[in-house]
């Protein structure tokens, strides 16, 4: 939809606000990524333009993100020293591989992959990343050394280093964290982080913080980035593929979730596959300009929305402002203390620890909460990359578990004689000689034995001999080869016991499956019905009488 001039100007102003609030954050993300400070600015230059040109979301801000930065830095730091020439080449190739995976996902329309990382696992993963990032920032905030890249060892190193902490670093860190957190609480639309950064740069230059042992980031190269191809061997490239895969999954899940939220909020439609192409273009731009992996950022998108941005014009304005900073204003950045950047990232990490979300999950589903908590603990415990793999595995296992152990019910009379679905248990029956059985999942190789065993147990334990077994197939949409064979065996077994099996609420697609697998032939076409009423009538039950019983006061 084309923008009117007034709307474009409003979005441009929102982009100015976005730049003032987000520029300090993207500088801070380099502390997580292990890259030079200037690369943070590079992530909001060509990547923003790439997504604006090829993506579909009007709101998604694609830039540096703490989750993806944590994923690759934990792996790449074992291959080369952080911020070294070799490290930056590895980062560039990793970002290029991520772009390639995203492009393949667009070609094969794999946007649905976003659904395989559940919201529960995502909350847990981001909480774990928040803890991991927060601990990683403590050494710079306190002016102590921590050599390890493992979170638990880092925390132990910080504790051992407390007697030797730098009081100036500590004081500045407390001031910065306090100012930003209070600003978010009481003045969320005010660029507190930018004011803090500018104030600290001025104070550092004026009062010579370096002479008090405060580490500064040093000279920052100015000018626009040059295009470059990462100089990485084939063996190193292959070693980077699993890490790129982890970044790819996080980008797909987080970006899709964020764009959906804002599309729903503004009653717009979003094309997930077009967004994937935009994300591929953004990461390709990042790789070729010396930046690192970029992602659809929930925090930065929220900031843009709060600033009034309603199109990618705001993000393009942000990119233009960053270009001006790179060309003319990088000089003062050399006075910025490391502890200030670390403190900014620490406040971001605090925001990622989603206590409210975890409480909501616990309130609704203890099993889901255990999944989120385990994922959150895995990230600082065993690593970020392993944490996301665990999150995916747990999401899939939980989904399979729901399919393997679905709700099984029987249509049975309650204490008032009214018919209602009741959780199946041996000894229940619908009526003398009749069981109406509902299995609330598709039948496949893993759950068909449970389906058959439950049916046998119900029939064997019924108070009166069962003559009619009605399968309510309303929840069945598909049946695979293995399940069909087991179902046919069950039908043959029940036939020897003089139990007539009838199926009701069979959809056209399920009927085709039953026909293809030979179940229609085994059961009989005259015992398969499109409604439950027809199935009950076929076994001599008057559905209207049942309904009258249900409506009787």
Q: Are 382 and 62 within 8 A, CB to CB? A: no
Q: Are 134 and 349 within 8 A, CB to CB? A: yes
pLDDT digit string, tens, across residues 200-238: 999 999 999 999 889 998 899 999 999 999 999 999 999
**Residue 306 or 440, more confident:** 440
Q: 468's torsion region: left (phi>0), alpha (psi -120 to 50) or beta?
A: beta
* Closest among 450, 453, 510, 505 to 479, alpha carbons compared: 510
* Closest among 283, 277, 305 to 64, alpha carbons compared: 283
pLDDT digit string, tens, across residues 177-196: 999 999 988 988 788 888 99
Q: Are 295 and 95 within 8 A, CB to CB? A: no
What Cα–Cα distance (Å) separates residue 59 from each residue in 118, 259, 262, 299, 311?
A: 22, 7, 7, 12, 6
The pLDDT value recorded for residue 114 is 65
pLDDT of residue 549 exceeding 70: no
The whole-chain average pLDDT of the chain stands at 88
Q: Is 436 exposed, middle or buried (0-12, 13-18, 19+ CB in 10 A)?
A: buried
Rounded Cα gap, residues 479 and 439, in angstroms: 12
**What are the structural domain ranges in the chain?**
5-400, 406-551
Q: Which residues of 154-166 are buried (b: 16+ CB within 10 A; e: fewer)?
A: bbebbeebeeebb
Rounded Cα gap, residues 271 and 273, in angstroms: 6
Rounded Cα gap, residues 39 and 41, in angstroms: 5
Q: Are 449 and 415 within 8 A, CB to CB? A: no
Residue 462: which residues within 8 A CB-CB, separation 6 or more?
427, 428, 429, 435
Q: Are 315 and 51 within 8 A, CB to CB? A: yes
* Closest among 101, 398, 336 to 201, alpha carbons compared: 336
Give CATH for domain 406-551.
3.30.750.24
pLDDT digit string, tens, across residues 485-544: 999 999 999 999 999 999 999 999 999 999 999 999 999 999 999 999 999 999 988 766
Element (H, E) at 61: none
Report CA dihedral (7, 9, 14, 17) to the nearest 10 degrees: -170
In a 13 Å sphere around the CA of 547, the CA atoms on its Cβ side amount to 6
**Residue 237 or 366, more confident:** 237
Rounded Cα gap, residues 258 and 240, in angstroms: 27
Q: What is the mean pLDDT of residues 71-86?
A: 91
pLDDT digit string, tens, across residues 262-280: 887 788 887 888 999 999 9
pLDDT of residue 342 exceeding 80: yes
* Closest among 363, 290, 317, 269 to 41, alpha carbons compared: 290
Q: Are 274 and 54 within 8 A, CB to CB? A: yes
**Residue 257 or 474, more confident:** 474
Rounded Cα gap, residues 332 and 211, in angstroms: 17
The pLDDT value recorded for residue 553 is 47
Q: Percent of the chain having pLDDT more than 90?
A: 56
Confidence bin at 552 (pLDDT 50/70/90)? very low
Confidence bin at 382 (pLDDT 50/70/90)? confident
Q: Are 350 and 130 within 8 A, CB to CB? A: yes
Rounded Cα gap, residues 43 and 282, in angstroms: 9
Q: How does DSSP assign 178-189, residue by residue?
A: HHHHHHHHH-TT
């Amino acid at each position: 939809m084309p923008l009117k001039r007034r709307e474009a100007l409003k979005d441009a102003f929102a982009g100015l606000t976005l730049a003032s609030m987000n520029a300090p954050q993207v500088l801070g993300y380099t502390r997580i990524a292990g890259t030079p400070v200037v690369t943070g600015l590079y992530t909001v230059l060509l990547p923003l333009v790439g997504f604006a040109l090829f993506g579909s979301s009007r709101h998604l801000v694609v830039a540096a993100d703490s989750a993806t930065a944590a994923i690759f830095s934990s792996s790449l730091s074992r291959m080369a020293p952080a911020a070294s020439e070799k490290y930056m080449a590895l980062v560039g190739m990793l970002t290029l591989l991520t772009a390639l995976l995203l492009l393949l996902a667009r070609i094969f329309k794999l946007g649905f992959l976003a659904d395989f990382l559940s919201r529960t696992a995502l909350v847990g993963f981001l909480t774990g990343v928040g803890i991991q990032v927060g601990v990683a920032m403590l050494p710079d905030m306190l002016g102590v050394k921590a050599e390890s890249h493992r979170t638990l060892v880092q925390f132990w190193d910080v504790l051992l280093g407390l007697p030797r902490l730098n009081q100036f670093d500590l004081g500045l860190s407390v001031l910065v964290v306090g100012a930003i957190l209070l600003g978010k609480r009481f003045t969320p639309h005010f660029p507190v982080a930018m004011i803090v950064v500018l104030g600290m740069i001025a104070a550092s230059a004026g009062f010579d913080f370096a002479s008090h042992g405060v580490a500064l980031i040093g000279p920052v190269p100015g000018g626009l980035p040059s295009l470059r191809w990462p100089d990485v061997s084939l063996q190193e490239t292959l070693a980077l593929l699993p890490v790129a895969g982890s970044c790819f999954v996080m980008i797909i899940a987080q970006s899709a979730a964020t764009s959906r939220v804002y599309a729903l909020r503004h009653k717009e439609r979003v094309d997930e596959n077009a967004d994937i192409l935009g994300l591929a273009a953004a990461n390709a731009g990042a790789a070729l300009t010396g930046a690192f992996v970029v992602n659809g950022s929930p925090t930065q998108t929220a900031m843009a929305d709060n600033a009034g941005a309603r199109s990618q014009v705001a993000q393009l304005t942000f990119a233009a402002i960053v270009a001006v900073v790179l060309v003319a204003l990088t000089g003062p950045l050399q006075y910025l203390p490391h502890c200030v950047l670390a403190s900014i990232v620490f406040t971001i990490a605090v925001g990622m620890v989603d206590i409210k979300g975890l409480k909501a999950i616990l309130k609704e589903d203890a099993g889901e909460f255990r999944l989120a908590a385990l994922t959150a603990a895995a990230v600082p415990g065993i690593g970020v990359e392993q944490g996301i793999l665990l999150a995916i595995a747990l999401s899939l296992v939980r989904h399979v578990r729901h399919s393997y152990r679905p709700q099984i019910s029987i249509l049975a009379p309650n204490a008032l004689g009214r018919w209602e679905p009741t959780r199946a248990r041996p000894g229940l029956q619908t009526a003398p000689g009749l069981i109406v059985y509902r299995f609330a999942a598709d039948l496949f190789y893993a759950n068909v034995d449970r389906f058959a065993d439950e049916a046998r147990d119900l029939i064997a334990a019924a108070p009166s001999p069962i003559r009619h077994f009605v399968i309510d197939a309303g929840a069945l949409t598909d049946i695979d080869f293995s399940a069909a064979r087991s179902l046919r065996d069950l039908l043959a077994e029940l036939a020897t016991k003089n139990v007539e099996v009838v199926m009701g609420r069979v959809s056209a697609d399920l009927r085709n499956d039953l026909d293809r697998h030979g179940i229609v032939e085994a059961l009989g076409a005259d015992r398969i019905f499109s409604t439950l009423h027809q199935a009950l009538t076929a076994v001599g039950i008057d559905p209207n009488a049942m309904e009258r019983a249900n409506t009787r006061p």
